[in-house]
Amino acid sequence: MEASTRRARRHDPDRRDKLIAATLDIIAEHGVAGVSHRTVARAADVPLGSTTYHFTSLDDLLAAAFTRHADSIAGVFEERMRAAPDRAAAIESVAEHISGDLLDANHDLVLSVELYGAAARKPVLRAVTQAWMRRSREALEHHFDPTTAREVDALIEGLVLHSALSTDPMTPAQVRAALHRFLP
Amino acid sequence: MEASTRRARRHDPDRRDKLIAATLDIIAEHGVAGVSHRTVARAADVPLGSTTYHFTSLDDLLAAAFTRHADSIAGVFEERMRAAPDRAAAIESVAEHISGDLLDANHDLVLSVELYGAAARKPVLRAVTQAWMRRSREALEHHFDPTTAREVDALIEGLVLHSALSTDPMTPAQVRAALHRFLP
DNA sequence: CCTCCATGTGTACGAGCGTACATAACGATC
DNA sequence: GATCGTTATGTACGCTCGTACACATGGAGG
């Protein structure tokens, strides 16, 4: 342990992570408007000063949180597409993805929509959504041509949103039917 | 002028309307987080007290503003669908709708996305989005069967969102192609 | 013309906000 | 074990916030 551990951190195992996780929880429950240094610090059970130490500003914290969220969802989707052996299996995976085993209606969805709203106004976050969209499209391109991938990506977005906001959401069978109409 | 004008308002031609319009402008520019009694009053050029007089709370004002927005968009879309003489014309109208002559990227879109985000957390606003979705679907049903209408409604949502958030948005021709793939 | 009361406004209060910054805590180095 | 500099925290400041509420104001009924 000479040169290798020279730069080891003192005694902060995962403060940054805890702060980001707490931020995401707050956004999911109260929206971006509910995020403040104090609410985050309370939720993460850390002192107030810790939030300004690890993130230079609130915007910085929000960007980190949204980046983590987008990366997480994109990673799971990529994994699903990579695991699908063929086109039919890929379609089935997409249907499952939409029907909500991943986007459990009241957490990930709110995070995604809040991200869209913030991204529409802040260039930094716009870059996050774009990277996410690109990864989704590329994952779909393992099974579909680029044009189709792009269109299906948009269709997924719309189906997820409508499913989440509707009191009468589409059943998994209806979702599958819609996909198969698009991908005969 | 006896009984009929007894209940006429004193000298407030359209204060409520001005407040709602100002609120929508602020949401479009700064998000729901930017809405406060003071920012709205300043934007509408009315005294602070006027905001609490016409709306019992901020949530009340936000609900009124989002309702106005949803009604407005739904109304325009209904009109477009009603005006389309046949199925082909309807598809063309939908394509134009998506390609942005209506949702000019940085105003109506932000409003819609902010509404989605708020609706995912507040039941009152959820009702607003549901009424909007129902009207859209019914408008589409002038030209398509209910199942198709529902699927196209979702597709529209996804295409609008992706167009708005992408630096490389789909061209009108690509949007048209996607629609025709779904509606051969 | 006077009175009255619904309609509309200005001010004030307590709370919470982002952020700066002086200071404490503590591992590494000698 | 003494020193030092990075890492981390508590406190304080100036500001904006939502909302309550006392007061102005001006048309309607006498």
The answer to whether residue B157 neighbours chain A at the CB level (below 8 Å) is yes
Residue-wise pLDDT for A91-126, tens only, equals 999 999 998 765 566 789 899 999 999 998 899 999
What is the pLDDT, as a whole number, of residue A104? Answer: 65
Q: Give the pLDDT band (50/70/90) at residue B67.
A: very high
Record: contact B130-A161, CB cut-off 8 A: no
What is the pLDDT, as a whole number, of residue A163? Answer: 87
Cβ neighbours for B5, distance < 8 A, ≥ 6 positions apart: none
What is the pLDDT, as a whole number, of residue A111? Answer: 95
Closest chain B C-alpha to A158 CA, distance in angstroms = 4
Which residues of chain A are within 8 Å of residue B178 when distances are taken between CB atoms?
151, 154
What is the pLDDT, as a whole number, of residue B163? Answer: 87
A158 contacts B157 by C-beta, under 8 angstroms: yes
Question: How many whole angstroms separate alpha carbon B64 and alpha carbon B19?
Answer: 10
Instruction: Map out the domains of chain B with their CATH numbers.
Output: 59-182 (1.10.357.10)
Average pLDDT of the segment spanning B114-141: 95
Q: Is the pLDDT of residue B100 over 80?
A: no
Distance A140 CA to C29 C1' (A): 54
In this structure, the number of other CB atoms found within 10 A of the CB of residue B154 comes to 27
Q: Give the pLDDT band (50/70/90) at residue B104.
A: low
| Of A154, A161, A100, the residue nearest B132 (C-alpha) | A161
The answer to whether residue B34 neighbours chain A at the CB level (below 8 Å) is no
Q: Is the pLDDT of residue B116 over 50?
A: yes
A35 in contact with nucleic chain C (CB within 7 A): yes
Which residues of chain B are within 8 Å of residue A164 when distances are taken between CB atoms?
120
What is the pLDDT, as a whole number, of residue B124? Answer: 92
The answer to whether residue B106 neighbours chain A at the CB level (below 8 Å) is yes
Record: contact A120-B165, CB cut-off 8 A: yes
Record: contact A33-B30, CB cut-off 8 A: no
What is the pLDDT, as a whole number, of residue B3? Answer: 30
Question: How many whole angstroms separate alpha carbon B65 and alpha carbon B7?
Answer: 25
3-state helix, strand, coil in chain B (%, to 5): 70, 0, 30
Residue-wise pLDDT for A150-176, tens only, equals 999 999 999 999 988 888 889 999 999
Average pLDDT of the segment spanning B40-69: 95
